[in-house]
Structure formats: C-alpha cells, structure tokens
Structure 1
Amino acid sequence: MEISNNQLLRFTTAGSVDDGKSTLIGRLLYDSKSIFEDQIEQVSNTSKKKGHEGVDLALFTDGLRDEREQGITIDVAYRYFTTPKRKFIIADTPGHIQYTRNMVTGASTANAAIILVDARHGVIEQTKRHAFIASLLQIPHIIVCVNKMDLVEFEEETFQSVVREFEAFSSKMMIKDIRFIPISALLGDNVVNRSENMEWYKDAPLLHTLENLHISSDVNKVDARFPVQTVIRPQRDGFIDYRGYAGQIASGFLRKGDEVTILPSGFCSKVKTIDTYDGELDEAFVPQSVVVTLEDDIDISRGDMIVRTNNQPELSQDLEVMLCWLGNEPARHRAKYIIRHTSNEQKAMIREIVYKIDINTLERNTDDTEIGMNDICKVKIRTTKPLMIDSYRDNRTTGSIILIDEATNNTVAAGMIV
C-alpha cells in the first residue's frame, strides 16, 4: 500500500524508568536528519558539560531544565519530524509511576504506541500498566521495542522470551495489532537502519514500520454531535435578529435543512445556516468550528448539544466509566467533583466502585473501595443534570470525561464511558 507523504501519524512512547524512551526518540530524530544544526551544537555542549564522550541523544527530547539536570523525563515532550513518506508527531511520556497520568495525556490522541522493554528486565509492572492504558484508549497499533539488546549480546532467545511474556499478558486485552522489534537505541540498531548485529531479525526496523502503518480514522463520521460552546448575538446594526450557536463539530456532519433536536431540552428545529469567518457553508463536518443558526427561536446555552433528530445520543445522569485516577490525593468517598464532558460542566459524585484492575494479572478486584493515584477502575458516577453521551468505543469525544477537584481546580481523573 502506498503511503502519502501528507499523512500524519501521531505516536507515543511509554515504558518504565530508564528503558531509553528519550534516547530512542533522539536516535530517530538524529538518524533521520530531523534536527537543526544549532540544536545538535547545543546538545553537544550540554553533553560535554555532563561528562559524556558523545552526544546524549536523550537531551533532544528532555527540554525542561529539571529534566536536563536530573536526567529524567518529567513532562510530555512533543516533537515533530518528517520523512519522505510521512509526517510524525511524537509524545515522549515519562516512565516514573507518579507520572503515569502524563502517559494518559500523551496517548489520548495517538495512532500508535511504542512500548519500550529493557531486554535485561523483561515485562514489568509499568510495561503492563502502559499496555493496559493503550488498550483502554483503543490505540490501534502497539509496537513493543525490546531495547538495550547490546547489553544482552544481541541474543535472539532473550528477545523471544520478552515476546512470549508480553503476548501471554496482552492476550487478555483488546489490541488490534502488536509488533515486536529488537533494538539498541543507544547504538542505533533497528531504529532507522537495519542492525548488522541481529541478522536473525528479518522484519523491518522501527522507522520503516512507522512509515508504513495503516492509519485508520478513529473519528466518528456518522453520528452528528455539535456541543454548543457559546451563543453569538451581535448588537450591531444589521445583526439585531441574529442568534447563532458556536462550537466545534465533535463527530459526523450537519447540513442546511437538517432536522435537529436540541438536548437536553428535546426541542426540534431545522438548520437555517452554517456560518464561518470565511462565509456561509452548505455543510460542516468534524472537526470544523462553525456557527449554526436555526429556523426556530429556542433557548440554547453552553453545554447543550445539537444532534440529528433521527440519531441521538443517550441522555443520562448515571454513567458507567473506566476511570484512570490522576490525582495525588485519593478519591474522597461520595465527594462532589466537577465533571467536564465536551462543553458541558456539571457537579458529579462517584457513587460506586464496581471494580479495580490489578495491573499485574488484569483481574477485577471488587473488594477494594479506595481509589488512589494511578489506579484504574470501573465506577458509577451520578451527575446533577443529564449529559449527552455515547460510549467511548463509538465516539472518543462524546465518550470521554474528566473530573476536577472543586477546591484545587486540579484534574484528578480521566474516564472513558462504557
């Protein structure tokens, strides 16, 4: 299949501490000649100050001052590069367990995930945690890079042992495509160029694999969902009767003349016009930002949703959600949180913990009633007013929520509606 050089692939890296994620991305950028000379010079100088003989490839992604000084990745570092075949956006995420929440952020829009495994240590808890989060977020392609093969004498059996271990674990998860590549990010084996030290590996190196991955659209193009962000009512002459509803189309498309229903009120009307800064449109589709006017004067405000009358989401105050707890503090029993869903914001409460996931075994623990940092669990949430929801499987935008602590305004959880 021929790949267009205009295609954009978003991928994230994940793995445990010191598995070599930043070094791998640095090697990808360096060997594909995607780094400017002034960046190379800056990193070379920093490497010399730190006592390294050559260029410390990890410094190309560890952009924060604290990261450079401590030699660890803290924030999600986004990098962009292009090859003749494809454009790429990389999200380099931290490996420390306290930064698992950053991995959730970096992976939420990814088409593929690279999970690094240290060949010396095999599959460990963080590997399983990141693989499970990738499956929860329904990332279609997982590439397991068994790194530091140079430290195990490039032995095929060590690589195959990691493959068997990972396959035994991942067989319990819904992952469409898993690939395994033995690499040495430090030396460059099987990253951009094929390794001369591992002739037993017959498949493509990492960059070639990334260039030829099939990108299937995860955008729902069928179900029209238009969350209203704000109401446009100009007070200038000539616009006195204008009342438009601005927002971004979350999924599907809208056409002039479509019969629509406004939720949660349930009132019906027809699309009169679809306006943009550049003029009027006959139709608009995801992810365009537009202003919609209706033929009838209906009371609509931020958080309402315009949908096609014959294709509506579920309207509910009771949600079942797979929740990733991001907060430093544990969830408070029956405490009130702010829930944000598209442009809607309500008060919400975690009514029940259905089960927690044991990351090592993927077993469901129904006895544990505490939710702490990095826990992944299925919960029941009650909101003060109905939300217009789809399942995350059907619609990533209308199927996802975040919870915010009222007191601190910190985001404490991200969830996928079941």
Structure 2
Amino acid sequence: MNKRSWFGIVLAVVVAIAMVSFSQVRAGQAKQAPRTKNVILMVGDGMGKAQRDAIRLSSVGLHGETAMDNMPYTGYVHTNSADPEEFVTDSAAAATAMATGVKTYNGAIGVDRHKKPVETVLEKAKKLGKATGLVTTSQVTDATPAAFGAHVEDRDDQSRIARQYLENSRPDVILGGGEDYWYPAGNSGRHPDRPADDPSEGSKGTEGNLVELAKKLGYQYVSDHRELQKANGARLLGLFANEEMFQYGTEAGDKYNPLVSLPEMTDRALETLSRNKNGFFLLVEEEGIDSMCHVNNAELAIEAGRQFDRAVARAKKFARKHGDTLVIVVGDHETGGFTIEPLDDSDESGDGTSAEDGPFPVAKSNQQFIVDWTTEGHTAVDVPLTAMGPGAERLQGVYENTHIHDVVVKLMRAGN
C-alpha cells in the first residue's frame, strides 16, 4: 500500500473520530439543556410599542432598558380577532387566542367562533400535574384571566366565570379584584358596597356565595395586604377590590391605587406555585395600562406600566434562580393609538378627551415628551413580545397571537 493510500485511511479515521466526539458533545449539551418546567406569561393589557417606549423613557431614560425590554428574544404579534363584524380585537378574543390557540369572536371567553369550548393552556398545564395561577389588577373574572380558566359565550358573565374557576379549571392561585361577582346582591363581602370612589360598585353575583364555596373547596381567602402576607395555603383566593384595583372614568376621577401591588401579588403567586414539584403555569396581567388608555390618561397608563415592569423584574429574578422557567411579556393589543411626540406649542388633536397629554420628563435628562392619542378604543397594530428562558428562542419573528399557545404547550409537554 503506497503512502497516499495510508494517508487517506488515517485522515478518514481522524475525521470519523472527530465527528463521533462532536456528536457526543452535542448530545451532552442537549442533555444538559434545561427543560421548560415553569411558564410565566405576563400580559400588559393594551400595551403596544409606544406604551412600552413611554414606560422606558419615564423610568430609565433614553439609554436605559426596562426589565421587560432587557430580554434576549423578541417577536411581533398580530392581534386581530376572527370576529365577523370587527377584526380589531377586544381583550376577550385576544386572550382566548393566546390561551387556546384558536381565533374567535370579540367577547368570547375560551370558546371558538361556533361557541364551542376549547381547552386552554392553563387546563393543559393542570393535566400535566402542574400548579396554575391567575394574577391581575382587574377583576379576576375579567376577560384576560377568564380566557385561561373559563368557557362562556359572553365575557360579561363574570359570576359564571368565577364558578367555573372553582368547579372546573381550579387555578391554585387567584389574585386580583372583582369581589362583587363572588357575592350575591345585598351581601357586600369584605369590600363595602357603594364606596366613595365609585358609588355604582356593589355585590352583583348571580351564582350564590362563591367565596364560601371557595373556602369549602380548600381555598384560603384573603382581602388585603396583611392577610396576603400571612397566607400560607396551597390554594389561595385573594380579592382586593369590588371591581378593578384602581378607578378610571368615574366622577371622582382616575386613580391608580391598588390595595396590593402587582409585584407583591406576583411574588406571592410564585412562592405558592413553586411548591409543586411538577412546575407551574402562571398568568400575570396589568389591566391599568389598557383602562387608562381608554380614558386617554397617559400619566396613569405610564404609572401602571411602571408597576407592571416591576412585576416583570420579580418574575425574571425567579427565572434566574430557576433555569427551567420561561418568562414571556406581551400586550394583548394596543389601546388609544398612543403616540410619543416632542414638545410643541400647537396641539393637532384639538380639545376634549383626545387632547395631548404631558409634558412628561425623560428620566436622567432634562428633556420631555408629549403623548398624543387617536382613539379611546383599541387599534390593530402588532404588539411586541419579549422572552427569556428555555424555549424562548421559538418566540422570535412575526406571528399570530395563537402561536404563543402553541409554543407554550409544546414546551410544557416536552418538559414533563
């Protein structure tokens, strides 16, 4: 055998060994890659790109990054619903799309266009043995949380939604506002009827005393900060307001004043759910961004957004300690046609509700900005998504909101 033949054989052996070694390294890396045990989906209701920018400018300035922006993966999400009359989505259809992977009509909660129930990601997580939770500054039975834990044809059927939580989907943690839908008329619960901030509020439940039912089913009920801090049960129901945990569009004016903050509720939910050895699925929503944009109150929309960003920071802190946790931050749609403009003597939008707001200071600078509006309603623009943790790379690109459900379900199933 000549030298050239020997050289060819040796080279082939070396290449083969290298390929085997490379394959073993890759296999080892694949084995070491963390699986998705926990999922935290954080929804800034009504939060589009401009709202995120205003939150950033007012919090950390021109060159800083908010907790929700400082994440390694970014996507852009189409928000349109499948409503036959109005493709611009409402929160119910948008949340149902993220929860079930199915587009539906506006006002639908966990049902398809034919009003048939569709299993949600929360319900699928429960079947995998995971703990589940719903946290919001709105009513816990409002559109976004409801779409993950209930199936009704009309989002306004909030007492039925509450009963379905208790009897069907059974989230382990339910924290937010909306006590009025858990007690029948005439029974004010722990939050008095006709409060000074909004005398129209009062118990209006249609399904009996659901708080008592929750207690019988093993939920620990809390109604304020002190009780939440002391709570140690595996199943937790916290209702901290008659309706939303803030006031907007009332005669007393707009106030963003949650009795318990969103970061605090997020912390307690994570502490409770993480006791489950199989992991958890948690939805966290800040409703104040959307509500304040509906009344074109930029100051309080930004304040609600700052609180939301602090809650995101809490979720990221948890995820850094637990490498098997996926964190997703997204808006369900944009509200208000929110625009950021420079200071100007003229106001193109004129007087009334849609007049310009501001000026607002840019943090760490001597500059300011103005917020302008185009509507009191929702718009059809895409919303940004940011993510971190195992599987987050699957959320890059531009896609429908149903893709969020598809990715989360695949990752949870693969992680079990």
- TM-score scaled by structure 2? 0.28
* Greater share of helix: 2
